[in-house]
Amino acid sequence: MIAAINIFGGLAWNPGVRGILVVAVGVAVLMGSVYILLATNTGSRLGMLLALCGLFGWLTILTLFWWISPPAIGPRGNNASWRPVEVWVNDGSTPRTDVVSKLTNPSDLPTRAEVEAQFPELVDEYPNGWTFSDLKANNPDILDAIIPNGSLNGWRVTASSSAGEAQAAADLALVNAKIFTANTEYKKLSVFEFGGKPTRLEYCPDAKGGSFLPDDPICRIQYKLNKLFSSHPTHYAVVQVQPVIAQETKAGEAPPTPIVDESKPVVSVVLVRDLGDVRLIPFLYFVISLSLFIIFAWVLHNRDKTLMKNKAMAEAATKGD
């Protein structure tokens, strides 16, 4: 007895055992109370069948909503994410991913000095330097002037406002590949994308939103149908970084602005979009709940048929007497 008390006294009641007790008490109070009411009015076996049929009927509706809109906390699969497939150093070597070979080499793109000579306002707007992704987000007209559409062989510049997830995956890939030991050893350059489903603006470039109805509803309907029924082309992203010059951080001062070491090659992290399976687990819960609901409803249906048959036989026997 004393040993058992010592065992229970040493258990971690928060959160492990406490969570189990909360679920157990909830099941006993909520489901148990319903079963007791049904059992006292219809009998223990019929009450159990009715309670289970109602429970899994409700779970079928709940998991259907989970399947349509997976909950933030609860059963859900893996979210879509960027998966690194290659870290390529732009030193004249050929990347293993064929589609990356079509991307224009960074040395062939306009330099910062050439662009700022044509657009001097960028010097004041970006005192710490800019990338093509920054121009895509804030100065798309300037980007179109220096990199016309189609000049990247199907690749497109990703706006810096949309590149955060890919850059975070690239940081992890660079450290795991032991090319860098920390993200302070390099500076992020531009981010490029290739493939994937087109956006509405890319699918309907001439459509403009009206005050009440769009001016090209047919194109928008075609875009919705294409997005719903067509397959997902492989979606690539390339995050480019370059080593920085080591600088000493003085005590009590902010870290110095990173300066790219132009003598070092650009490092490209090749990523592929993993669409994830967010709705898979809710769908499995829905199938299990629906199957159990059908089974218990079928058992109740057969019970009613057997009861009606026996009742009819009893009435026939009574009339025969």
Find the mean pLDDT for residues 290-301.
96
CA–CA distance, 197 with 229 (Å, rounded to integer): 12
pLDDT, position 160: 92
**pLDDT at residue 209 tops 60:** no
**Residue 283 · residue 178 · CB < 8 Å:** no
Query: What is residue 227's predicted lDDT score, i.e. its pLDDT?
Result: 78
Counting every residue written for the chain, the total comes to: 321
Mention every residue, 6+ apart, whose C-beta is less than 8 A from residue 273: 80, 81, 82, 83, 196, 234, 235, 236, 237
Longest dimension (CA), the chain: 112
Give 147-206 pLDDT, tens digit per residue. Answer: 887 788 889 999 999 999 999 999 999 999 888 988 889 999 999 999 988 877 777 777
In DSSP terms, which residues pair with 243 in a beta bridge?
Answer: 186
Q: Where are the domains of the chain?
A: 2-76+280-320, 81-196+232-272, 199-230
**Residue 22's pLDDT band (boundaries 50, 70, 90)?**
confident
263, two tokens = 């003598």
Q: In this predicted model, what pLDDT tens digit does every residue of 236-249 receive, in sequence order? A: 999 999 999 888 87
Most confident of 147-161, 207-221, 288-302: 288-302
304-319 pLDDT per residue, tens? 999 899 888 888 888 7
Residue 173 CA, chain-centre distance (Å), reads 19
Q: How far is CA 174 from the centre of its chain?
A: 22
- The phi, psi pair for 242, rounded to 5°, reads -145, 140
Q: What is the pLDDT of residues 29-87, one digit of tens each?
A: 888 888 888 889 988 899 999 999 999 999 999 999 999 998 877 788 889 999 999 99
Phi/psi at 232 (5° precision) = -95, 110
- Confidence label for 6 from pLDDT (cuts 50, 70 and 90): low
pLDDT of 92-150, one tens digit each?
788 899 999 889 888 888 888 899 999 999 988 998 889 999 999 999 899 999 988 77
Q: pTM here? A: 0.74
How much is the pLDDT for 4?
Answer: 64
296: exposed, middle or buried (C-beta count within 10 Å: 0-12, 13-18, 19+)? buried
Confidence (pLDDT) at 318:
83
Q: CA-to-CA distance for 117 and 142, rounded, in angstroms?
A: 12
pLDDT at 7 over 80: no
26 or 212, which is more confident: 26
Residue 15 has pLDDT above 60, yes or no: no
pLDDT, residue 246, reads: 84
Q: What confidence score (pLDDT) does residue 226 get?
A: 82
